[in-house]
Amino acid sequence: MPYEELKRLEAVHRFLQIQINKQEEFEEISQLAADICGMPRAMITLISEETEFILSDNKFVANSGRSESFCHYVLESDAVMVVPDAQVDIRLKNYAAVKKQAGIRFYAGAPLTTHDGQRLGSLCVIDQKPGELTQLQMEMLKNLASQVIQLLEFESNLHFLKLQYVEAKKTELKMRSFFESVASSHLLLDRDLKVVCFNKAVKLLIKKAYNIDMQVGMDVKQFVHAAYMADFVEHCSRALAGESIRHERLLTFADDSVWFMLNYDPARNNDGEIIGVSYNSSDISTRVGFQLTALNQRSRLEHLAYMQSHEFRRPVATIQGLVNLLEMEGYDETYPELKIIKNQMNEIDTRIGKIVNLTVEK
């Protein structure tokens, strides 16, 4: 299938999806076309790959196969197609709609051409008897076809804008749900350090700590404690200069102290310009508690290593020294038990050394 036909069909299917909200306007245009041309009936059609659709009751409905469509031939040119008598037209005379009793004899159709040149169907008039159109009538039919396509494109744009809006709202709701459900506090400030938005965690924290109700537009001075203000403003200034800051800090609220991981990041718009500060804080008290416990255990182990290396090894070293003196005096020959004592002391000393090394490694 040629690329241009693929583009045309894509446009046709776009219009087939929409719900028509201006049916009265389309009916008025159709009636005006019929009246101007002196014909009993006018139709608005779209031609897909295999089917002709007509506009009826706020939507396009299948009318016939493309192979039996008069309007199919309108797609071949920008000119108004006029068939004075379908019974003698070589292209149409064998159509069922022509051969049946009281069938179509006269047909005239102006192409519905989009702003980018895609011919999608026609605004056509028909009669059960042969006829002709004047040049003025053909021009008027063509002008009315232009009005039809303008209305259709408006309806299409409105339809897809609504879809995009619905999708955007769904995405916004999902993001907001996530934003509000996380335990971390999220706060967005503008360049003047005024509140742009915040999540529920921030609101609850400030309410609990200072009994202040957070509001959009508030200045940070209205809810940041004076003891932390200088530090907060400094980090915000660095974020506004393009720097990202991460640090841990113990914050005290009334009788409660909490360890937080604080994050200050530059907030940028779609063009990359810094428009404010994104501030996030997470309660890390549990993690810090584990760290403090580990440090305490480490300290106790180091104390134990000191005890083992000094207090336990000191008497062992003393005994080892005495045994060595007795050996030098030859008492080990008289008292062979000294060798046993020496071996036992050496074994104890080796074990104490291993325990000390393991403790230090911990």
Structure tokens at 176: 């907001």
Q: For 50-84, what is each residue's pLDDT tens digit?
A: 899 988 877 788 888 888 889 889 998 899 999 99
Q: Residue range 226-244: average pLDDT? A: 90
Q: For 113-146, what is each residue's pLDDT tens digit?
A: 988 888 999 999 999 999 999 999 999 999 999 9
pLDDT band of 178, cuts 50, 70, 90: very low
Q: Residue range 169-186: average pLDDT? A: 58
The reported pLDDT for the residue numbered 131 is 93
Q: Residue range 10-19: average pLDDT? A: 83
CA-to-CA dists, residue 168 to 17, 130, 158, 176, 179, angstroms: 20, 54, 15, 12, 16
* Residue 18 phi, psi dihedral angles, 5° rounding: -85, 150
* Residue 77 phi, psi dihedral angles, 5° rounding: -155, 160
DSSP 199: -
Terminal-residue alpha carbon distance, the chain: 74
Distance CA(109)–CA(106), nearest Å, equals 10
Does 109 have pLDDT greater than 90? Answer: yes
Do residues 46 and 15 touch, judged by C-beta distance below 8 A?
yes
Do residues 148 and 26 touch, judged by C-beta distance below 8 A?
yes
Distance CA(42)–CA(26), nearest Å, equals 11
The DSSP line for 108-135 is EEEEEE-TTS-EEEEEEEEESS-----H
Structure tokens at 81: 């197609």
With CA atoms as reference, report the closest residue to 125 among 39, 49, 194: 39
Does 353 have pLDDT greater than 80? Answer: no
Report the percent of the chain where pLDDT is more than 90: 26
Could you give the residue ranges of the DSSP H alpha helices within the chain? Answer: 3-16, 23-37, 96-99, 135-181, 200-210, 226-240, 285-306, 313-328, 331-334, 337-361
- Higher-confidence residue of 301 and 90: namely 90
- Higher-confidence residue of 234 and 58: namely 234
Structure tokens at 180: 């509000």
Rounded to the nearest integer, the mean pLDDT of the chain is 81
Does 358 have pLDDT greater than 60? Answer: no
The reported pLDDT for the residue numbered 318 is 72
> Residue 135: left if φ>0, alpha if ψ -120 to 50, beta else—which one?
alpha
Distance CA(146)–CA(148), nearest Å, equals 5
Task: Kindly calculate the radius of gyration of the chain based on its CA atoms and give it in whole angstroms.
Answer: 45
Does 328 have pLDDT greater than 90? Answer: no
* Element of type H or E holding 21: none
Q: Residue range 319-345: average pLDDT? A: 71
Supply the angle between the helices 135-181 and 3-16 in degrees, to the nearest 10. Answer: 70
CB within 8 Å of 45: residues ≥ 6 apart: 52, 53, 54, 55, 63, 69, 71, 109, 121, 122, 124
The reported pLDDT for the residue numbered 296 is 62
Token pair 């306007």 is found at 25
pLDDT band of 105, cuts 50, 70, 90: very high
Token pair 């209305």 is found at 151
* Element of type H or E holding 243: none
